[in-house]
Every structure is written in C-alpha cells, then in structure tokens.
Amino acid sequence: MKTTLITGGNGGIGSAICVAMAQNGYKVVAAYYSAEKEQAQLWQQALREQGVSIEIVGGDVTDYESAKNMVGEAVLKAGPIDVLVNCAGITRDTTFKKMKPDEWNAVINTNLDSVYNVTRQVINDMLDSGFGRIINIASVNGQKGQFGQTNYSAAKAGLHGFTMSLAQETAREGITVNTISPGYISTPMTQAMSAEVLDAIVGSVPVGRMGEPEEIAHTVLWLASEKSAYVTGANIPINGGLFMAA
Ligand code: CAA
C-alpha cells in the first residue's frame, strides 16, 4: 500500500484529494496548519463517520523545521511518503499599488517556500526507494496572471519552474514531478471573492461553470499511478477552457 501526504489536506481541493486517494487504496496523511488543529480534528472525525480513514499531522509549511517535524510525524504514522501533493495555499488579493509587505510575504511563503520546505523532507526517501510522485497544485493564474493577484500569480508561476527543474533532476530515479493548474474551483477560497467579480470571471469560462474539487482529485490519482511514469515536468490545466496554451 502506498503512502501519500497532502499539504493543505483539509482545505477545499486538498480534502477531495485525500478522500479520492483513501478510496483508491492509499494510506493518506493530511497535513493541516497547526493553528487549525480543532477544525482538522473535526474534519477527520466527519470523514471517519463516512468510512474514510485519514491520518492528520499539524505544522507550519512556511517554516523549514516545522515542516521537517511534520513530515517526520507523518512517516512515523504511515511510513515513507511515496506520493507528495503540495496543495497548501492562500490568497491575499489586492492591487499591487496597495499591496503591503505582509500580503506579499504571506503568499510567497505559504504557496512557494512551503514547496521547498516540505518536498526537501521527502525527496531522499523517494530517491532511496526508486519511486516517487510529486504533484504541485498551482493555478491558472500562474499561467495567465490575474488582476489583483501579483503575489499569488508569482508564487504559482514559480511553482511550475520548481516542477520542471526537479523533474529533470529526478527523471532517472523513478520519480515524476508535475504541476496541476486548476481554474476557478468551488472552494472556500473562491467563495471569499466578491460575487460580482466571481460571476464575471465564471461568465468567461468556456465550459460555463466552476470546477469541482473532485475534478482536480481525479487528475491527482492519474498522475500518482505507476502507469503515469512517462508524464513528468508537465503543467496540466484543469480550468474549463479559461486559459488555453499550445
Ligand atoms: N482588468 C482591468 N481592470 C480591472 C479589472 C480587470 N480584470 N478588474 C477591475 N478592474 C478595474 C475596475 O474596473 C476599477 O476601475 P475604476 O477604479 O476605474 O472603477 C479598478 O480596476 C479597481 O477595481 P476593483 O474595484 O475591483 O478594486 P478593489 O480594490 O475593490 O478590488 C480585488 C481588487 C480584490 C483584487 C478585486 O479586483 C478582485 O477580487 N479581483 C479578482 C481576484 C481573483 O481572481 N482572485 C482569485 C481568488 S481564487 C484563487 O486564487 C484560486 C485560483 O487559483 C483561481
């Protein structure tokens, strides 16, 4: 049985990924932000009542030592990590002319530095075992930019640069590294937007609706599979046609 660690595991997209992985034979560890322990425990309990068993570990992915302890705890609970999904992310949307240093830093630290802090803890075990899957959840807005998201778009674009470089370093070791770039998905993150702005954006999506978290989880499962060994360094768009690139 393979083990998967999902950061932001109790979040909107992370939660769907945890459930899909658990229902498809993975041992699942969800990493939650340590300040949200109570919510994470309630989330775990609610899933348990539905017959879905998930381990949880707390930490702060913006902090290297905390990430190290968190991954160590996950390995103690479930064994070495075969599949890492970097899904922890936040927004602090505002136009650049108004953006404060803490709004820039919070987004870069949580959405980009975290990927170094967490991936660094699992890579040596993956190299030793000759198998690994690293899946980074970015965003359509890392590909096309978005009014009000200089911080978020910079972090998400950076994430795919990381993906392509690490994919090259590990391609001969049985490890694949890929990015998924979701569009506007029904989660608390998009629910926090003003209805007017969200409606205008969704109105421009060719498929004509928002995406569902399960539609992201479906692709995570596919990338995690042993049969996807020849897919690496890719950036897979799941955005209802909002952004198309050659
Ligand atoms: N392009 C050009 N101009 C625009 C614009 C756009 N897309 N959007 C707004 N403007 C203009 C407005 O018309 C307005 O012009 P006037 O001053 O002449 O009236 C001016 O810019 C200011 O716009 P706002 O009133 O919107 O500014 P605000 O300060 O009230 O709000 C904002 C700024 C909060 C960033 C808001 O624009 C916003 O929410 N934008 C959308 C951000 C977004 O898409 N976030 C995604 C969150 S979900 C997520 O991130 C998940 C994912 O991966 C997709």
User: What is the reported pLDDT for 148?
Assistant: 98
Structure tokens at 97: 């002319």
Give the model confidence (pLDDT) of 7-44 as tens digits: 999 999 999 999 999 999 999 999 999 999 999 999 99
Domains and CATH numbers, the chain: 3-234 (3.40.50.720)
User: What is the reported pLDDT for 112?
Assistant: 98
Point out the ligand 1 atom lying closest to the alpha carbon of residue 193: 39
Q: Is 230 a catalytic residue?
A: no
172 in Cβ contact with 201 (< 8 Å): no
Query: Span 66-95, mean pLDDT?
Result: 98
What is 68-87 written as a DSSP string?
HHHHHHHHHHH-S-SEEEE-
Point out the ligand 1 atom lying closest to the alpha carbon of residue 146: 44
Residues in Cβ contact with 150 at an 8 Å cutoff, skipping those fewer than 6 apart = 96, 99, 104
User: Ligand 1 center to residue 197 CA distance, Å?
Assistant: 7
Query: Span 84-109, mean pLDDT?
Result: 98
End-to-end CA distance of the chain: 37
DSSP assignment, residue 228?
A: G
Give the model confidence (pLDDT) of 132-179 as tens digits: 999 999 999 999 999 999 999 999 999 999 999 999 999 999 999 999
Active-site residue among 26, 32, 33, 152?
Answer: 152
pLDDT confidence band for 102 (50 / 70 / 90): very high
- Angle ∠(39,117,68) on CA atoms, nearest 5: 70
What pTM does this model have? 0.97
Among 147, 153, 235, the mutation site with the greatest number of ligand 1 atoms within 8 A of its Cβ is 147
Give the model confidence (pLDDT) of 197-211 as tens digits: 999 999 999 999 999
Can you tell me the distance from the alpha carbon of 67 to that of 151, in angstroms, rounded to the nearest whole number? 22
| Residue 148 beta carbon below 6 angstroms from any ligand 1 atom | yes
Bridge partners, residue 136, by sequence:
86, 179
β pairing state of 3-7 and 27-33: parallel
